[in-house]
Structure 1
């Protein structure tokens, strides 16, 4: 039996190997946009397609013909849309749930298979790695006993994808907020929290909160003119 794990980030690449040690089946990792095509999937003929992280629109031909399960880092229907981790922390929310949902045309609107709690303390990279382990366990449970999805209940709250400029620390008024902004952007591939002057950009990472101060590493770059 074939199963697909589709994620365009390496932090999820260990999931197939880990699951192959726990379950019978052939677990295939896809990370490129063109790999998640109907033509390729028809050749593989997967039982399920699990999607922990995918930065592209999933073609309707794919989710209409295969059982696609998306993992989203909010307690849906709260927090549909982009940049869930950063949107949650910037709102002062430090505990959430990972929702496993059926892929449908409307973004993050599909019925829910299951939810598991996730702490949002630590750097973004630490949170993502923690979530990868939780998602692996969720996939394991779903393969063992595939649940019936239930329609989302409650008012939908939409998140907008955050831009690099949203990481500017200039207008923040509390140390707690500054600390949260630094850590929520402290992950591979993410633009860092920053402050800029006329000639330089100061990017922050690896922050620790000391009560009345923050200790962090800073990268100083000359602005491109």
Structure 2
């Protein structure tokens, strides 16, 4: 069985190596570059599944119509379709969520559901949450799907849409009625590689915050100050 896993994240690539060793009978192929996701390359492999564990690019119609493409989305779909799901979930004071495995189609995050898995998002920073989600996807959800070949079922419930956050929205002044808990959540939800860190600005001076901890009515963490 040939299976493609498409991702852009280092922790996923690390887990890709592990899943290859756990299931030597499966021929796993890694795609970590947008240019590799083309019909000519995919047709040579003829995969049973293509799993998109962390992918930011549009999946070509010729691929999702001809191959079984599975997307993993960090919300209990159809609640939370759209961009920046983790950040929007935390801003809405969610402490837990689900990772939804869905079949790719033309509708953004609107595909039929293979399965869902619980995920705690209550205290850790974004990087640790993404790493934990990656473990669940690679060692729980992907093996379940290729072993059991579940038939996906249509999403049910009220649809809600998340808007993708912009770098400007990482400014701490965007918080309404700030308190320590809100500031803690705001900093940790943006604390992951390639994400715009929580910041404050004073004219041309920018202060970025990370590694925050909430201890006895005070926040302790690290910051970086530089001129833009």
TM interval, short-chain normalised: over 0.9
Question: Secondary structure in 2 aligned to 1:201?
Answer: strand
1:171 positional shift? 4.5
The more displaced of 15-24 and 170-179 is: 15-24
Alpha-carbon distance between aligned partners in 2 of 1:171 and 1:212, rounded to the nearest angstrom: 22
Give the Cα–Cα distance (whole angstroms) in 1 for the partners of residues 146 and 105 of structure 2.
20
Q: Is the 8 A contact 1:7 1:51 kept in 2?
A: yes
SS in 1 for 2:172: coil
Alignment counterpart, residue 144 of structure 1, candidates 128, 147, 150: 147
**What is residue 174 of structure 1 aligned with on the other side?**
179
C-alpha offsets along residues 154-187 of structure 1, whole Å, 9 cap, x if unaligned? Answer: 1110001001111111243111111001100110
CA RMSD of aligned residues (A): 1.0
Q: Structure 2: any 5+ residue segments left out of the alignment?
A: none
Contact 1:17 1:27 survives alignment (8 Å) = no
Aligned to 1:14: 14
Give structure 1 regions of 4+ aligned residues with deviation exceeding 3 angstroms: none
CA distance in 1, matches of 2:188, 2:146: 34
Is the counterpart of residue 64 in structure 1 residue 69 in structure 2? no
1:126 aligns with 2:134: no
Moved more, 7-16 or 87-96: 7-16
Deviations 1:89-147 (A, max 9, x none): 11111200000000000110000000000011301000000000000120011111111
Name stretches of at least 5 consecutive residues in structure 1 with no aligned partner: none
Whole-angstrom CA distance in 1 between matches of 2:45 and 2:81: 30
Query: Larger deviation: 38-47 or 14-23?
Result: 14-23
Q: So what's the TM-score if we normalise by structure 2? A: 0.95
